[in-house]
Amino acid sequence: MGQWEIIKGIHDGDSPTSTKQIIRETGLSPGAVDAGLRKVRNKGHIRESESTGEYLSEISDERLEEIRPRTISELKNDDN
């Protein structure tokens, strides 16, 4: 939970995003953000700047949409 929100926040940002900024913008706990960052970094969706420790998006708009959580209505419509 929260991985998509983390990726989306970093992807939509105009500049590299800090962990504190992600916590503030998503409302997720620091532990959840740390775990989410680790997972999405391992998947190659984001990268960490070596100089600042901030995060940058490595994901395309299309791929971001593919991994977006779907609503129940969307899932029901996909079955038809």
Q: So what's the pLDDT on residue 80? A: 56
Q: So what's the pLDDT on residue 75? A: 85
Q: What is the pTM of this model?
A: 0.81
CA distance 55 to 41: 9
Q: Which residues are CB-contacts of 69 (< 8 A; sequence separation ≥ 6)?
A: 4
What is the mean pLDDT, run by run of 10 residues, along the chain of 80 residues? Answer: 87 91 92 94 93 92 90 80
Number of domains in the chain: 1
Q: What are phi and psi of 48, to 5 degrees?
A: -100, 130
Q: So what's the pLDDT on residue 60? A: 92
**E-strand stretches of 1-80:** 46-48, 55-57
Owning domain of residue 16: 3-79
**What's the CATH code of the domain at 14?**
1.10.10.10
